[in-house]
Amino acid sequence: MRFFFPGLLLCLLPAGAQAAPSQDWSASLATGGLGQTEATLSALQDPSPDDLFVLGGVRFLMGIEQALHLRWKMGVTGEIAPVPILRLQLPANPEAEPVRADLLTQIFRSANAHMELAEAALAAIPAGAEIGVTINTGDLWFDIDGNGARGPGEDVLPMAIGAITVPMDQPGEPPPTSIRFDTADVAWLRAYGHLISAVGSFVLAFDPTSVVQRMMDAQTDRETRLASPNPSTLDRFVGEDLLGKLALTILALRQQPDPAMTRATSRHLKEMLRLNHAFWQAVGAETDNQAEWIPNARQTAGLGFILPPDTEQMWLGVLAELELMLDGKLLVPHLTMPPEAGVNIAKWLENPNPLDLVGWLQGMDALPYVERGPVITGEAWTAFEQLVEGRGVFFALLLN
């Protein structure tokens, strides 16, 4: 599944011309990893459009790599939450450092910073420039433990598959193969960077550091005063980890969110949608068929997955509803409101209140954002799910 790959405005080539990459970047990634490859690319005095595309992709992947390294360093190697970066399973760290309360904040600040650097490189590709970069998926790896050498559990492809699938939606893992990324894929990669930034901005809006610290302090107090080798009654049935995740989520969302971060979430999502439309327009015009990342109806995916007919039309229908919701033109239904009314998500993103679970379910906290108007029906998503035979999560995360 195709995965994520201060830029200077360069007048390298006339519109429509193409320059080859400065070197075999796939081989560089295989031997030197992301960090060394990024350093080499950043030092180029006259990078081609292909070089800039690889630089953007490498910086994108470095954002994931740094987040995973932070998790590994503190021994947080299991799934934290079903969202990008946090759901990945990592190799165990037998010598982990104590977990810090600001781990999640560190993760998403670092990821967002790398997404900005990736966007700078990709936005610097001249308009009309043709891209043709071949990358073998088997050459991609994350230096999760930070030792500079490729180790077990550090290959990108299996982790990418795990990031965009759920247990009931497994497509199977394809063997490593070469993918030729082309001009349309610039928009896809930029869009995915904005998706990651939107997730990061939303988490940072409810900075969970103080909640994590409270929970850590309570755990220390319990262990000090009630030292016992026996698990609690609750642990025997649901596990303390599950309860802890639920408590962290509920308590963090009860905080007053930072409006600057919720507004950033909205901006990133809208830019993601704009670039997604640009991608589908560009990929629809392609006439070649060379190891495609995401193919049009006349092409074949290099990784072997098959897009059903009308995928583009159905997916753009889903995106159209999301765009209308972000613009406040479609409302989100609420159980306690009449069917001709709903929550204006655009208003909440602009001036948010805490997402207290009880207050929002009961309706009193949702009421400031409720208004009469057309409400999302979910028909576009239902049609898309039927088209892809129930594998909607997989294809939604693949197509972005």
In order, the DSSP letters of 318-335 are HHHHHHHHHTTSSBBP-T
11 CB-contact burial (10 Å; exposed 0-12 / middle 13-18 / buried 19+): exposed
CB atoms within 10 A of CB 188: 25
Bridge partners (DSSP) listed for residue 180: 134
Nearest to 128 by CA among 280, 233, 15, 217: 15
Q: Contact at 8 Å (CB) between 195 and 268?
A: yes
Q: Contact at 8 Å (CB) between 61 and 142?
A: yes
Bridge partners (DSSP) listed for residue 289: none
The stretches in the chain having pLDDT less than 50 are 1-18, 167-171
**The pLDDT of residue 172:** 54
The phi-psi region of residue 160 (left if phi > 0; otherwise alpha if psi is between -120 and 50; otherwise beta) is alpha
302 CB-contact burial (10 Å; exposed 0-12 / middle 13-18 / buried 19+): buried
CA 267 to chain centre: 15
Q: Where are the beta strands (DSSP E) in the chain?
A: 132-136, 178-182, 341-343, 370-372
Distance CA 61, CA 329 (A): 35
* Interval 38-91: pLDDT, tens: 999 999 999 999 999 999 999 999 999 999 999 999 999 988 888 888 888 899
The pTM (predicted TM-score) of the whole model is 0.89
Greatest CA separation found in the chain? 72
Distance CA 21, CA 56 (A): 13
**The pLDDT of residue 8:** 29
Where along the chain do its domains lie?
Answer: 1-195+275-291, 311-399
**The pLDDT of residue 219:** 85
**The pLDDT of residue 279:** 95
* Interval 340-395: pLDDT, tens: 999 999 999 999 999 999 999 999 999 999 999 999 998 999 999 898 888 787 78
Residue found by looking up tokens 């997916």 in the block: 315
**The pLDDT of residue 3:** 36
Bridge partners (DSSP) listed for residue 182: 132
Three-state DSSP at 132 gives strand
